[in-house]
Copies of this chain bind each other. A is one copy, B any other.
Amino acid sequence: MAPAEETSKFCEAYPMKGGDGPNSYANNSTYQRGVVDAAKELLRPNTFFAVENIVEAAKFKFQSQGQDSQVPEFQVFFNDHTPNDFNMLFKSLPQNRRYYAVGVPGSFYGRIFPNASIHFVHSSYAIQWLSSVPKVVVDKTSPAWNKGRIHYLNSPEEVARAYEAQYTEDMECFLHARAQEIVYGGLMVLTVPGRPNGSSHSHSSINMSFQLLGSALMDLARKGGVSEEKVDSFNIPIYCMSPQELEAAVERNGSFSIESMENLPHVSVDDTVSKSQLLAAHMRAGMEGLVKQKFGEEILDELFDLFRKKLEEAPFFIETGKTISFLCVLRRKGNGLEHAV
């Protein structure tokens, strides 16, 4: 038996076409809606593909060692926050899957599994989410109060430091919990969107995107579409880490060895319009839940359309911004038994 945990939050989105006619906004909005839904649906198949690959690889390992008869049965634990839609997940499970499927509600910043019960963890585009917005950035009396912005770029230095501190604390919780749950020698694979080593926060296109989204929100506030106070109290709990920062967290924790840390190849799109549409759809797929919760559904179309326009007006941003996804493979140390699983 080789239980595996699979967590994910984001996924790729398809590029979408523009439209300049009198109905272009409405058309685009409907189209955008479709793209966003497609992006969300893709999340699940992507998760299932990842699980298939992991199970396949584990089987291959046994077979390649002539241990065909010892291939174990697999049990896969799909983890997500409790309010998420497990019903939909269960209904979407592939009919022909070769593993037992289980849903696990709860935050991965705490314990979600018994001691030493997991052999393999896969978490994709998830650990960039902080456990919560750092408290000080919504505290009007704090120097880290993040007035008029929704993320830490172009903010007082204290804001970025508060995000960094939250990241450090969260990552220690994550690694500490997993260290108890994963068997000695067990593996954990993390796919993380972040910024390259040696680049500053201000060069990360993820951070730049949040800055533009914040600026679009402030435009709406100025037009009276949303309350400025609400924007002041709204912050996106995402930290854009570098591979080195993750390495440092792993070393501080001490329970895992780093088996591999590598940047993933980047899929590039050529023209600026497609790029901005792609980014806008991406952003909406990832953020509309959070935005809706705070500001209501009615602002979504206008906000993300405004955001897309801001992207198009800032092609330099797309050219110069740096984003990477990187893959980090960790092995649970311990007991002198660090043989392969």
Q: A residues bordering B, Cβ < 8 Å?
A: 1, 72-75, 77, 82-83, 85-87, 90-91, 93, 100-105, 111-115, 117
Question: Which residues of chain B come closer than 8 Å to A85, judged between CB atoms?
Answer: 87
Q: Are B75 and A117 in contact (CB under 8 A)?
A: yes
Pick the contact of A100: B73, B83, B87, B113 (CB < 8 A).
B113
Contact, CB under 8 Å: B102 / A104: yes
15 more A-B contacts (CB under 8 A) besides A100-B104, A100-B112, A103-B105? Answer: A1-B114, A75-B117, A82-B90, A82-B93, A83-B87, A85-B87, A86-B87, A87-B87, A90-B105, A93-B105, A100-B111, A101-B105, A102-B102, A102-B104, A103-B104
Q: For A103, give its contact among B73, B102, B112, B117 (CB under 8 Å).
A: B102
Q: Are A113 and B75 in contact (CB under 8 A)?
A: yes
Q: List 20 A-B contacts (CB under 8 A).
A: A1-B117, A72-B114, A73-B115, A74-B114, A77-B102, A82-B90, A82-B91, A86-B86, A86-B87, A86-B90, A86-B103, A93-B105, A100-B112, A100-B113, A100-B114, A101-B105, A102-B103, A102-B104, A103-B103, A103-B105
Copies in the complex: 2
Chain B residue nearest in CB terms to A105: B90
Which of chain B's residues have a CB closer than 8 A to the CB of A93? 82, 105
| CA of A77 to CA of B111, assembled, Å | 16
The answer for the CA separation of A91 and B115 in the assembled complex, in Å, is 24
A104 to B100, CA, bound (A): 9
A175 to B74, CA, bound (A): 21
CB distance from A99 to the nearest CB of B (A): 9
A85 CA to B90 CA, complexed, in Å:
10
